Amino acid sequence: MSAPAPTRATRETEAAARERSRGTAYGLAAYGLWGLFPVYFATLRPAGPVEVLAHRVIWSLLICLVVLALMRRLGWLRQLLRRPRMLAAVGLAGALIAANWTVYTFAVLSGHVTEASLGYFLNPLVTVALGVLLLREPLRPLQWVAVGIGAAAGIYLTVDYGSPPWISLSLAFSFAAYGLVKNRVGISLSAIQSLTAETLVIVPFALSIVVFLAVTGQQTFTTEGPTHTVLLVSAGLATMVPLLFFASAARRVPLTTIGLLQFLTPVLQLLSAVLLLGESMPASRWVGFGMVWVALAILTADSMVAVGRSRRLARAARGAAA
């Protein structure tokens, strides 16, 4: 005798669980790649942060337009132009991510990767706060414990620096605000549409930068050899891939989950800074680093418990339907 077909509620529960799993995987991929960015951006010297920003925007937009053209999905741009509120939200997202890119690139090129990593330690806390306070997203008990330990690590590392970490604060708040906007806009735009729209809004500024640098003799795009040129062009691909992963994650999981996944990025950034880029890391800062690992371990355990609970509920729903 064959098993009865699952009910509509069961199918919806299973579909939602699959979407959350996919979103979590996309988030891990995005933050893993961002964690390795210090090594990549260090290869872009002697280009400055503003020139790198301009090329990231220009080449990202070109790649997105080519992909959309191949998919025959360019028509939605006309619809976007007829929706002022959506266009304003996309413009805000573009401005926020441009600010974040500029600050981060400056941090890497000036040898402040550890301070940038502190920004991404603080960023999940700001993101989680936005999710709880503005979007009313709940946290499970173990998630509260992980956030508390992460907050303690962020405060400890801030005090250890001995002065206000402006780079860290700028990165934390700009990207948390960007995540909030993406969480709202992403509902109606696909990942590649969102990235295309954001870069399209800010590309006039990027082109102006390129022209200004060329006229004043400050550009490095054509003066440092073909390898350097290729690396700057590849900034578009390096920018597009993790952002698309992030956009796909933001549309599938709660903002609080996005915030907690972000702990992966500063861990990888610190390892890159110390092991590959030769930045100094005092023993006192390793204490904060260890605290973050504890938070990650708790978060991982909580995620495994939550996944197991969801599977048991799905099986129970199928059993009840039978």
Domain boundaries, the chain: 8-321
Mean pLDDT, rounded, for 111-137: 78
Higher-scoring residue by pLDDT: 125, 168:
168
pLDDT digits (tens, 9 = 90+) for 238-267: 988 887 788 788 778 876 677 677 778 888
Mean pLDDT, rounded, for 127-144: 76
Entry field: residues in the chain:
322
pLDDT digits (tens, 9 = 90+) for 199-252: 988 999 999 999 999 999 999 998 999 999 999 999 988 988 887 788 788 778
CB-CB contact of 118 with 157 (8 Å): yes
Please compute, for residue 18, the number of CA atoms within 13 A of its CA located in the half-sphere on the CB side.
6
pLDDT digits (tens, 9 = 90+) for 112-123: 888 888 887 777
Express as a percent the part of the chain with pLDDT over 70.
85
pLDDT digits (tens, 9 = 90+) for 59-90: 999 998 998 888 888 888 888 888 888 888 88
Q: In this structure, is the dihedral angle defined by the CA atoms of residues 124, 126, 127 and 128, taken in order, positive or negative?
A: positive
What's the whole-number average pLDDT of the chain?
82
Token duo for residue 109: 């090129």
Residue 279 banded pLDDT, cuts 50, 70, 90: confident
CB-CB contact of 251 with 29 (8 Å): no
Q: What per-residue confidence (pLDDT) applies to 216? A: 93
pTM score: 0.75
Distance of CA 214 to the CA centre of its chain: 31
At residue 266, what is the residue type? P
Cα of first residue to Cα of last residue in the chain, in angstroms, is: 12
At residue 80, what is the residue type? L
Q: What per-residue confidence (pLDDT) applies to 219? A: 93
